[in-house]
Amino acid sequence: MATRNVGLELDLDWVSRVQVNLPAVKLRAEQLQARRTVKKQWQAAWLLKAVTCIDLTTLSGDDTAANVHRLCFKAKWPIREDLLKAVGMQDKGITVGAVCVYPSRVTDAVKALKSAGCDIPVASVATGFPAGQTLLKTRLEEIRLAVADGAREIDIVISRALALTGQWKALYEEIRACRKACGEAHMKTILAVGDLGSLTNVYKASLVAMMAGSDFIKTSTGKEGVNATFPVALVMVRAIRDYHHRTGNKVGFKPAGGIRSAKDALAWLVLIKEELGNEWLSPELFRLGASSLLSDIERQIYHHVTGHYAAAHELPMA
């Protein structure tokens, strides 16, 4: 991930002028979801592109060094080699975009990826994920510890209460402090859109997060009742586009939560292509937060190559 967002001073006038036309957002979201499907070899190519943008994730209470090691193995070799050979992609170095784990598992992931001889970044959730209801000094220390252990990307969660009560300056200052604690590590800011109450709040929180220096803005922790949806995503990517036009800084986008099928992945790629353009169709500016998505993508590529679907034992996740 090369792009960095330097941020800017908080512009409360810009934030206060935000208005979201809900019917227009819903209409555009429906139009995007109804876009033509991608077929045959073009579908395989798009699915392999999606693989390179996956943050392969395990965030479970029963995570162990062993299952993190298996996840890292799959991160380096996400698609069976014979399938890649069949589509002429065996020498393209296809890996996932990152491996995402809890802070306590960063060291395990770094060691596993190093032993596999690859440079896939380790991302870590931090700042009291998923609720963010811990003291700020504790959240900042969690970031610093994860970075010290080798995390090159940090997924922070915002204080939803600050957004819900319109305390945009306080939210800006908290995110800015998180950015400082990240140091050279890239920061992905989770808005937890299902908790924000309105699309207007989603847009405002997106702007504030970008002004504070977020390199990515992310929809959800995956733990809320509502996670990544097209209307929410449309509001966030429009905020990214407006921010880019105003500042020249490119900020990445990461939908997360409920993205499980190859068809879902294709829909998200279409949204990014239509709304932000081909420049954003890379792991530097687009990620898919998912744990089970990769299995279905590999299943669809198997079908493309062989003409039938694999049995479960033929495509183990890890």
Residue 4: count of CB within 10 angstroms of its CB = 14
Return the CATH fold of 12-306: TIM Barrel (3.20.20)
Catalytic residue among 188, 218, 250, 273: 218
In this predicted structure, the answer to whether residue 89 has a pLDDT above a threshold of 90 is: yes
Q: Work out the pLDDT band at 33, boundaries 50, 70, 90.
A: confident
Over range 236-261, report the average pLDDT. 96
The residue behind tokens 């709304």 is 275
pLDDT, tens only, 285-298: 999 998 889 999 99
How many Å apart are CA 223 and CA 59, to the nearest integer?
A: 10
Q: Give the chain's mean pLDDT.
A: 94
| φ and ψ of 189, to 5 deg | -100, 120
- Which pair of structure tokens corresponds to residue 8? 């800017």
pLDDT, tens only, 108-121: 999 999 999 999 99
In this predicted structure, the answer to whether residue 318 has a pLDDT above a threshold of 60 is: no
The two beta strands, 122-125 and 98-101, are parallel
pLDDT of residue 2: 64
pLDDT, tens only, 51-85: 999 999 999 999 999 999 999 999 999 999 999 99
In this predicted structure, the answer to whether residue 134 has a pLDDT above a threshold of 90 is: yes
> Is there a cis peptide before residue 231, judged by omega within 30 degrees of 0?
no
Query: Could you report how far apart the first and last alpha carbons of the chain are, in Å?
Result: 25
Please state the domain extents for the chain.
12-306
Catalytic residue among 74, 254, 263, 273: 254
Q: Work out the pLDDT band at 317, boundaries 50, 70, 90.
A: low
The alpha-helical segments, DSSP class H, found in 77-211 are 81-86, 106-115, 136-148, 160-164, 168-182, 199-211
**111 is a catalytic site residue:** no
| φ and ψ of 221, to 5 deg | -85, -20
pLDDT of residue 96: 97
Identity at 293, one-letter amino acid code: L
pLDDT of residue 225: 82
Cβ distance 78 to 94 under 8 Å? yes
**49 is a catalytic site residue:** no
